[in-house]
Structure 1
Amino acid sequence: MTAAIIAAVIIIDQIIKFWVKTHFYLGESVTVTSWFKLLFIENNGMAFGMEIGSKLFLTLFRLLAVGALIWYISRLIRRNADVSTGYLVCLSLITAGAAGNIFDCVFYGVIFNNPMPPEVATLFPADGGYASLFHGKVVDMFYFPLFSFYWPDWMPFVGGEYFLFFQPVFNFADAAISVGIIVTLIFYSRFLSSPVKEHADGNTPGEDKKE
């Protein structure tokens, strides 16, 4: 189950990104509704376009994080740990989302070019990609400007400033990571704060030991 979830999220994420990359020029926006737009941007950083540290460091960090998550999930399954299916689903979503963005970082610089707007990118361009291996950019496209307002002038620090919610542009992989983390913190935080119990008898959690 966990492998199927991880594979499905990565495939869906990459299909969306390939489509956007080859049909939108950088910065192009398509209004779907008043509160939802497709906006093609690229970033070097973490989820939701955050810029933290060097490109190579972030890519290597993601690889280590995904490796650790895969090891942890495999260990829980292999040792028949007493955890719920929902917790494993959340871990799978986080792992898949991180892996989806890793694919961008590792390969997109090699397999895509990066032409000036209004030209769109070409897959496997004859003159090569726009960056070396591990230095590609993450593709983002989902933009939800749900509401906006100006802070009252009397408010300290932010008085008179424009506020827009939700401002970050993100992708399917980011959404998978966010859902996995939020649901884990709300419903499965007990597994983070205490050791997971393992079933030494080899039965699945909740089953009676067979004679």
Structure 2
Amino acid sequence: MKRSFFIILPIIVLDQLLKIYVKTHFRLGDEFYIFSFFRINFIENPGIAYGFFINKSYGKIILSIIKVILIIIISIFHINNIRKNVTNYIIIPIDFILSGSISNFLDNALYGLLFNSGTVYNKKFHNWIFYSGISTIDFSFKKGYSHFMEGCIVDMFYFPLINFSFPKWIPIVSEFNFQFFQPIFNLSDIFIFIGIILLFFFRNKINQY
């Protein structure tokens, strides 16, 4: 149990520190080049993960509730595995998945209360309204841009590994721009992805238990 704590907690803290830094130092849409194929591009995601959006504000609340249920289920499963002293091929990947899930949930649960500006849903026009400027933190939770469980996830990692346009002389697809990889994501998403990949990669060893 203690070993998992020292994996999960640092991931959550590191992810949250990175998100808070980006949100309080970058304007929405700001882009910072590290390499041509790797950029810091600040967006707010009112949806699921990896840049996928949902269309209505109440959907975000439902999604947050689903996240809580999934985190509880994963946590109970994880604690039982730790008590049974199962292999690290199960424990460590689930540590990664759980830490990423908890950290992303904290965005949904608290960021609407913690920050003075953020992406909000306009019920009248049925669309998401983005903001200008740089956000500040209000630790009193009284001047937030939204309500509990209605905050947006902060994403910033952008890897356009392939980016080119087809030449004019090619029929149908002329001047069509192809880009891979388009989604923008965060550190939590990376650890969730790594955890899932590890479970898949070590599935034969896991099946022995």
Fold shared, TM-score > 0.5 on shorter chain: yes
Matches within 5 A, 1:12-161: 12-52=14-54, 54-81=59-86, 84-114=87-117, 116-117=131-132, 119-124=133-138, 128-150=143-165, 153=170, 159-160=173-174, 161=176
* Equivalent pairs, count: 188
Q: Sequence identity, in percent?
A: 34
Superposed CA RMSD in Å reads 2.1
8 Å contact 2:112–2:151 — kept in the other structure?
yes
Q: Structure 1 residues 170, 87: CA separation in 2 closer, same or farther (over 3 Å shift)?
A: same
Shift of 1:185: 1.0
What is the identity, as a one-letter code, of the residue corresponding to 1:88? I
Instruction: Find the residue that maps to 2:184 and give its secondary structure.
Output: coil
What is the identity, as a one-letter code, of the residue corresponding to 1:121? S
1:143 and 1:108 map into 2 onto residues whose CA distance is: 22
2:85 and 2:27 map into 1 onto residues whose CA distance is: 48
Residue 172 (str. 1) matches residue 187 (str. 2): yes
**Structure 2 stretches of 5 or more lacking a match?**
119-130
Q: Structure 1 residues 109, 93: CA separation in 2 closer, same or farther (over 3 Å shift)?
A: same
Q: Deviations over 1:94-144 (max 9, x none)?
A: 011011100000000001011742x21010078601000000000000111
Q: Deviations over 1:179-205 (max 9, x none)?
A: 1111211222664xx5x74xxxxxxxx
Shift of 1:176: 0.5
Q: Structure 1 residues 41, 76: CA separation in 2 closer, same or farther (over 3 Å shift)?
A: same
1:31 and 1:142 map into 2 onto residues whose CA distance is: 11
- Answer with 1 or 2: which has the greater Rg: 1
What is the identity, as a one-letter code, of the residue corresponding to 1:29? E
Q: Structure 1 residues 108, 154: CA separation in 2 closer, same or farther (over 3 Å shift)?
A: same
1:14 and 1:189 map into 2 onto residues whose CA distance is: 34
**Structure 1 stretches of 5 or more lacking a match?**
198-211
